[in-house]
């Protein structure tokens, strides 16, 4: 058999795996999932999956329920692992050692580990952000330091193979940034065009001076106590 007639073997697809757990915020997962879904349509070689404990409907923090496509056991080796966030249920999940262990195992097999919003708190609780620059929703940012991370107020933060986005909609920005890294800016711009991501908020940009964590400290404390009432050690760690 000559070299020209030898069978050509395609490189295996790079899997972008999103983690689903009960109570997450739908936009945290749906926004970046849509971005990577369009990438897989425009450029062969990328697959997107959603992994959870079981393939069954899971509640979110809205009236919408979602169903993962894979379990952790059936998930293909992930190129990138992305953990979405949420509110009280995500804080409660910081005490879910079974979930945290699955995140550690999957992260060890991934080239890129990322999060959206408070998903970074789960990475932090799993010990994956120690010594790294990271971000989360502004209300929860100070909690990252409780796990040895270095809180940074940026739209997304890259530290080594870990990338963490700020709150909710920042996950779309982070996903587009990663598409640019993986496939180049031309493809990333096409993805942005196809999802028509051209935000023009009706009330203009956010007034960050109004986002004073001290002003909202009672709300944060209330959420922490609600979520971790049955986990006093973790609650004390986050509130001391």
Catalytic-residue membership of 52:
no
Domain ranges of the chain: 14-199
Instruction: Give residue for tokens 């400290």.
Output: 217
CB-CB contact of 118 with 90 (8 Å): yes
Separation CA 123–CA 121 (nearest Å): 5
| Whole-number pLDDT of residue 57 | 98
Model confidence at 240, pLDDT cuts 50, 70, 90, reads confident
| Whole-number pLDDT of residue 83 | 98
pTM of the model: 0.93
Q: Per the residue annotation, which of 58, 117, 224, 235 is the catalytic one?
A: 117
**Rama region for 127: left / alpha / beta (φ>0; ψ in -120 to 50; rest):** left
CATH 3.40.50.300 fits 14-199, yes or no: no
152-186 pLDDT tens trace: 999 999 999 999 999 999 999 999 999 999 999 99
């Amino acid at each position: 058999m000559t070299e020209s007639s030898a069978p050509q073997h395609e490189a295996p697809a790079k899997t972008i795996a999103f983690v689903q757990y009960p109570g997450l915020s739908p936009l945290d997962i749906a926004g970046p999932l849509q971005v990577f879904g369009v990438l897989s349509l425009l450029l062969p070689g990328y697959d997107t999956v959603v992994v959870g404990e079981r393939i069954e409907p899971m509640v979110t923090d809205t009236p919408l329920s979602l169903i993962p496509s894979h379990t952790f056991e059936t998930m293909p080796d992930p190129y990138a692992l992305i953990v979405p966030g949420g509110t009280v249920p995500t804080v409660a999940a910081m005490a879910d050692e079974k979930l945290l262990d699955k995140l550690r195992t999957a992260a060890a097999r991934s080239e890129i580990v990322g999060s959206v919003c408070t998903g970074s708190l789960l990475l932090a609780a799993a010990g994956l952000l120690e010594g790294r620059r990271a971000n989360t929703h502004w209300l929860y940012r100070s909690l990252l330091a409780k796990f040895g991370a270095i809180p940074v107020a940026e739209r997304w933060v890259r530290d080594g193979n870990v990338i963490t986005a700020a709150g909710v909609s920042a996950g779309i920005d982070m996903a587009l940034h990663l598409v640019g890294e993986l496939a180049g800016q031309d493809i990333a711009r096409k993805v942005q065009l196809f999802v028509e991501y051209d935000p023009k908020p009706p009330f203009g940009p956010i007034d960050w001076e109004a986002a004073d964590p001290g002003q909202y400290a009672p709300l944060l404390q209330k959420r922490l106590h609600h979520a971790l009432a049955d986990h006093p050690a973790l609650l004390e760690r986050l509130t001391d």
